[in-house]
Chains A and B, each alone.
Chain A
Amino acid sequence: MTLAKAAAIVGVSPGTLGRWVRDGLIPQYLDEWTPAALGQARLVVRMRERGYTVAQIKAATADGRLAFGPLTELFATGERTYSARQAASAADLDAAIVVRLAGVLGLRPEDGFSEDDIQLFQYIAAVLDAGMPVDATLQLARVYLNAMSQVADAEVRLVHLFVHEPLMRSGGTSEEMAQELLLLAGGTLPLASPLFDRLHQRMLAQFIEQDVIGHMETEVGADQVDIGRMRVAIAFADLTGYTRLTEEEGELAALDIVEKFTESVLVTLPDDARVIKTIGDEVMVIGGDPVALTEWAVGFQQLHNEPPLPRIAVHYGYALYRDGDYYGREVNLASRVAARSAGGEVLVTRPIVEAVGHDLAFEHLADIRLKGFAEATELFTARPAPE
């Protein structure tokens, strides 16, 4: 490939690209415009656009800080030459749906679509053809994107912390680091799809089983509500004194305690319950069975007899399921109840007391007007029933 052609691909003049080579900004160029050299050149363009000087880029290149950059070439998506109407035609989709999908997937129709984007739309068209409603498909696309975004973020951060930074500290050359990272990416990327596939199928089997059990225990037509709204048991759990613990023990020690706490929630939860999200030391759990989730909370507390003690709230009500998360008044209420609980305590609401019955001991604590709620909420403590 000639310098002129490489310059055209990268989007700068041949003179500029030649100067960058002479200045040592593109160490991957060894008399040949390889994908790695082109990747580095594109990276230099992006750095220049962000305002970095040639001297700054040269220094960062020399000490290996940019060694990760050329890897982006492995994920080149091709030119965006298709309009929304053309993409819709190629994927056999309505143009309006393509525009909505693009919004969900973080694509901008005004930038055009690539062959890869069209392939993506074709997969989604097949999902719609198979009978999945448009709204559910859009929510699924959003969940996939969020999940994959979290995975990619973790991959990049962990490689940065555990591979790239140690390489930089070891004093290797920029080319050696780039080579090492390319080898790592080349060796691990092909494993990603089969790995995700296996994990996805395993988790699908687990959740389908839970859904089937849920259907067995729910009468069709009972409690008929809006689509997306379902009655669930909601638990919030966190550790008391976590902020003070962080101050006293340091961030790493506190993080270690939180990781063990989250892990202990995961390994003890009933089969039909799952962690929806974690925010710092707080864990949000949703389950189909209010009895099992409340019993779990009470038993979980018995497994903690030294600080930092967990505090847990459990509530039962209708929540709106959207994009893999649960929203609505009842979720907010459960969160507010959790804020009222003390270490070692399980606080529950009236719907939980009525669902559980006499399997546990409940004590009426107070009727409290929770923040943001007009009416008072009855709060109860839950404990194992007397022997």
Chain B
Amino acid sequence: MMSEDPEVGPKLREADVPQRYEFPDVGLVVNLHPGGEGEQNVAWVWSDEVAWEPQVRLTMGVDTANRYFQGKENVAIAIARRKIKAGGDVKAALVVIPLLKPVFEHYRRMVVAEYPHLEV
């Protein structure tokens, strides 16, 4: 979704901020890395078996992640409430946050169409 988005994908590649998201309540980890020349804009690996070091690490429950990607969770407030834990070069997260906003609408449409019980 992020990688193919004509607006978001190239910007995430350009921002060049490798990110690690951990969802401890379901035991999942995903690592994102900007693609190289000729590759997709963002590479996703659902494990820590990656050849790069994440610059930003965000840990959150899936409920928070679901709210966040629907544009309903303010990152700063979620951090203050300890719903999101940020690590690494947290300042780099501020570069990524505005880039992801266009993804929210895609995600909301997908939730409404395919997983209406997750709509918030």
A residues apposed to B, CB below 8 Å: 260, 263-264, 267-271, 292, 295-296, 298-300, 302-306, 359-360, 384-385, 387
Contact = CB atoms under 8 A, between A and B. Distances in A.
Contact of A296 (B77, B86, B91): B77
Contacts of A303: 75-76, 79, 86, 90-91, 93-94
Interface string B40-63: 000000000000000000000000
Interface string B63-95: 000000000001111111110001000110110
- Quick one: which of B75, B79, B93 has the most chain A CB within 10 A? B79
A305 B91 contact: yes
Contacts of A300: 76
A292 B74 CA distance: 10
Contacts of A270: 74, 77
Contact of A299 (B79, B91, B98): B79
- Quick one: which of B80, B82, B98 has the most chain A CB within 10 A? B80
Interface of B: 74-82, 86, 90-91, 93-94, 97-98
A296 B82 CA distance: 12
Query: What 4 A-B pairs are tightest by C-beta distance, nearest first?
Result: A299-B76, A299-B80, A299-B79, A298-B80
Q: Is the contact region of chain A dominated by helix, strand, or loop, or is it mixed? A: helix
Nearest to A264: B94
A292 B80 CA distance: 10
A360 B80 CA distance: 8
8 contacts: A263-B98, A299-B80, A302-B79, A303-B76, A303-B86, A303-B90, A303-B91, A304-B91
A122 B17 CA distance: 54
A305 to B, nearest CB: 6
A113 B111 CA distance: 58
B90 A305 contact: yes
A136 to B, nearest CB: 31
A268 B75 contact: yes
Given A267-B94, A267-B97, A295 B77 contact: yes
B78 A268 contact: no
Contacts of A387: 82
Contacts of B75: 268, 299, 303
A305 B78 CA distance: 17
Given A360-B80, A384-B82, 19 more contacts: A260-B94, A263-B98, A264-B94, A267-B94, A268-B74, A268-B94, A270-B74, A295-B76, A295-B77, A295-B80, A295-B81, A296-B80, A299-B76, A303-B76, A303-B86, A303-B90, A303-B93, A384-B79, A385-B82
Contacts of B74: 268-271, 292, 296, 299
Nearest to A300: B76
A106 B97 CA distance: 42
A209 to B, nearest CB: 13
Contact of B81 (A264, A267, A384): A384
Nearest to A360: B80
